[in-house]
Amino acid sequence: MKHEEGTLVLAAPSAAAGANLFCQSWAPEKAPKAIIILVHGYDEHSGRYAYFAEHCVNHGLAVHTLDHWGHGKSDGENGFVPDFSVYHDGLDALLGQMPADQRALPLILVGHSLGGLISASYLLDNQSNFAAAVLSGPAIKATDEPSSFMKGLSRFLSKVAPKMGVLGLDASGVSRDPKVVADYLADPLVSGTKISARLAAEMMGNMETVQNQAAEITLPMLLLHGEEDRLTAPEGSVFLHDHISSKEKMLKIYPGLFHEIFNEPEKDAVLTDMTNWIDRIIAK
């Protein structure tokens, strides 16, 4: 397996122009049959996906990923984002630096949690770049749907106190595996920072956009969610499955599993479900 690390620079007119983003890739020794573009979740980083990458490489797939602005080894402020488009700018930069021979292969967009929301919103304007998408526990619907008042308050705070922390994550909901939770809490690249008022407002706005425009997505899509996910609502995956216009789509809700289904005790079965689906799609 070949592993490479590098740096991407966000270009103007990005709201974070000039920022350096950490990126890395894993690839088989032989030419891969497809490329996975991996989009991680909130308050984590690409380094937490080494096991995911090893599984994919063993199945002939290369994995390219980055640490979002404000995450991991990248520039930016934990818990905050100047504009949600900065996440899309990172994906643009990641795709732009790939060699032409790799971009010619089928590209599979895989997004987890916040990364699922980033991926879904990115697809609204860029789905022609990909052969398929896989969303794991995507943040499409909140576990507790905010009222109109709370949405308005969030937009107000986003303007007057954009960096104020408003929402913390319960690490115990990450996985049923105590070691995964302990490693997450001890990870120096996991900040534990609350989601800021600006990021919360940006997330809610993009959730609404994806819900309202879901029918515009026609790409083959696999939706995966843990039934006991307390961090993102399984109803969001159900909603997307019911409302996207994709002729090729599949929804799998895993009984008993928590949020990070790629880090649950059943992770090998989940990853095999994903790679088997990808193999079927790219074989068509």
Provide the 3-class DSSP secondary structure of residue 238: helix
Q: 139 and 115 in contact (C-beta within 8 Å)?
A: no
Which tokens sit at 78?
């934990």
Q: Give backbone dihedrals phi and psi of 174, rounded to 5 degrees, phi first.
A: -70, -50
Cα–Cα distances (Å) from 220 to 107, 109, 130, 209, 264, in that order, read: 12, 11, 9, 20, 25
Q: Which residues, other chains included, contact 228 with Cβ-Cβ below 8 Å and sequence gap of 6+?
A: 256, 257, 258
Tell me whether residue 43 is one of the annotated catalytic residues. no
* Helix (H) or strand (E) segment spanning residue 269: helix 267-282
Which tokens sit at 82?
């100047």
Tell me whether residue 259 is one of the annotated catalytic residues. yes
Q: Half-sphere exposure (CA, 13 Å, Cβ side) for 28?
A: 16
Tell me whether residue 237 is one of the annotated catalytic residues. no
User: Which of the residues 112, 225, 241, 259 is marked catalytic?
Assistant: 259
User: Which of the residues 113, 136, 175, 196 is marked catalytic?
Assistant: 113
User: Which of the residues 225, 229, 237, 273 is marked catalytic?
Assistant: 229
Torsion of CA 108, 109, 112, 116, to 10 degrees: -140
* Helix (H) or strand (E) segment spanning residue 117: helix 114-126
DSSP classification of residue 122: H
Residues with a known catalytic role? 113, 229, 259
